[in-house]
Structure 1
Amino acid sequence: ELGGQERALFVPCDVTCEQQVSRLFETAEAHFGQVHGVHCNAGAWAQGTVESFDETIWERVMGVNVQGVLWTLKYGVGALRRAGKGVVLVTTSVAAQIGFPQHAVYCASKAALEAIIRCMTTDYAGEIRVVGISPGTIRTPMLEATCQGWDRPVEDLFREVAEKIPVRRLGEPEDVAKAAVFLMSDDAAYINGTIVTLDGGTMVLPPW
């Protein structure tokens, strides 16, 4: 529980719009005084091989997943510097490391984020800690929507996938949230420039 209205501020923002992202940080600093952490977590998904993509799909996925992150980091880093310290957390995906079928553009967008994390770690050494979190199969509305067009009921598909994950279940949003809170806390002060995988062991044996 947030425990009070001053603990959270909700600001609608299209991360693909530089002006909106700039205003987001202006609003946050005006409300809280300082910003000490930035979590880039917005994402877009599209399914298909390279032959099936068009300019609209490319611009939507890369616009949210890469350009949106860059706008957020551009203005977020400024806010962190004004605060004198801070941490950046970027949500990537195991799709950046695995050839996930029918997801060429999505995988490319997440791989780009991992490169950005590595570069930022050196660019802001001594100033800002930069970490990535790489979720595996997390049960979210986006995942459920992804599976709607498959040839079997979603719950049956989820059970089949869960049986192939070493922890024998799909991840829950709370799993990611708890890891994110830790990685952005002072308890993780020596974790920097790396991607933390949160996949129940999926990378050992991909379930697809």
Structure 2
Amino acid sequence: MNFQDKVVLITGAGSGIGRKTAIMFAKRGAKVAVNDISLERGSETVTLIQSEGNEAVFVAGDVSTEAQKIVEETVRVFGGLDILVNNAGVVPYGNVEETSEEDFEKTMAVNVKGPLLLSKYAVQEMKKRGGGVIVNVSSEAGLIGIPRRCVYSVSKAALLGLTRSLAVDYVDYGIRVNAVCPATTYSQGLAERIKASPNPDEMLQRMVARIPMKRLGKEEEIAFAILFAACDEASFMTGSVINIDGGSTMV
């Protein structure tokens, strides 16, 4: 997979899957706009990329309120936009009784409104270049029931609807839109959450138990699927959903 001189904007790239994806795109020649709400985390990702001689810039902004600014800044720096990865998201916990209106509004703003508006402004730039790719990072929770993930599941299912709608509307412009659906993926953030729980071993075992492969996903496995969905070798794929879940959605 070669992304030489492609301009890639990745939201939520200050850590986890977003950071790993940014690094992997950059290693394959892409110019990467690293978006995050944290200056510290986003700058760390940029430093990691630049330390290997690759090109990246930090683009600050909250996807729920600053989508247009994020796209415009990317275009200002790099001259265009070829690939958008809608990765930023929040993960509230709770069933419907435990979910407040504030939880719902914040989750939908970040997980749905943000990707929708980023896509709105991104496709305008992609049309100028004769095409492009959008990859939406959804979740297994958008496909199956996960305990105490009510509003998160709603938002990730909505993201799959957005994926298919965009794919239909912009196929004639050479713009492909696909989604990836990871299961629980091991990251620094997850490790900290497990460590802080009353019974870390039990929490980890519970997460692993429901995955047929009996392990959590790895950041690089999810990132590789994102790169595949965006690469030229996948040029006949649009409106598709790639499950990277250790088999959790097959049972």
Matches within 5 A, 1:1-208: 2=49, 3-4=52-53, 7-17=55-65, 20-127=66-173, 128-144=175-191, 147=194, 152-153=199-200, 155-205=201-251
More displaced, 36-45 or 46-55?
46-55
| Aligned counterparts of 1:60 and 1:145: Cα–Cα separation in 2 | 23
Partner SS, residue 204 of structure 1: coil
State the Cα distance separating 1:85 from its structure 2 match. 1.0
State the Cα distance separating 1:196 from its structure 2 match. 0.5
| Aligned counterparts of 1:165 and 1:9: Cα–Cα separation in 2 | 37
CA separation of 1:163 and 1:47: change in aligned 2, threshold 3 A: closer
Q: Identity over the aligned pairs, expressed in percent?
A: 33
1:104-138 Cα distance to aligned partner (Å, 9 max, x none):
10000000011111111111122210100000111
Query: What are the ranges of 5 or more consecutive residues in structure 1 without an aligned counterpart?
Result: none
Provide runs of 4+ in structure 1 moved above 6 Å.
none
- AA in 1 matched with 2:56: A
| Aligned counterparts of 1:121 and 1:64: Cα–Cα separation in 2 | 21
| Aligned counterparts of 2:145 and 2:196: Cα–Cα separation in 1 | 20
**Conservation of the 8 A alpha-carbon contact between 1:50 and 1:105:** yes
State the Cα distance separating 1:158 from its structure 2 match. 2.1
| Aligned counterparts of 1:103 and 1:35: Cα–Cα separation in 2 | 33
| Aligned counterparts of 1:21 and 1:149: Cα–Cα separation in 2 | 33
**Conservation of the 8 A alpha-carbon contact between 2:225 and 2:242:** no
| Aligned counterparts of 2:191 and 2:98: Cα–Cα separation in 1 | 21
State the Cα distance separating 1:142 from its structure 2 match. 4.6
Partner SS, residue 196 of structure 1: strand
Report the TM-score when normalising by structure 2: 0.74
**Conservation of the 8 A alpha-carbon contact between 1:158 and 1:170:** no
Number of residue pairs the alignment of both structures matches: 201
| Aligned counterparts of 2:209 and 2:155: Cα–Cα separation in 1 | 28
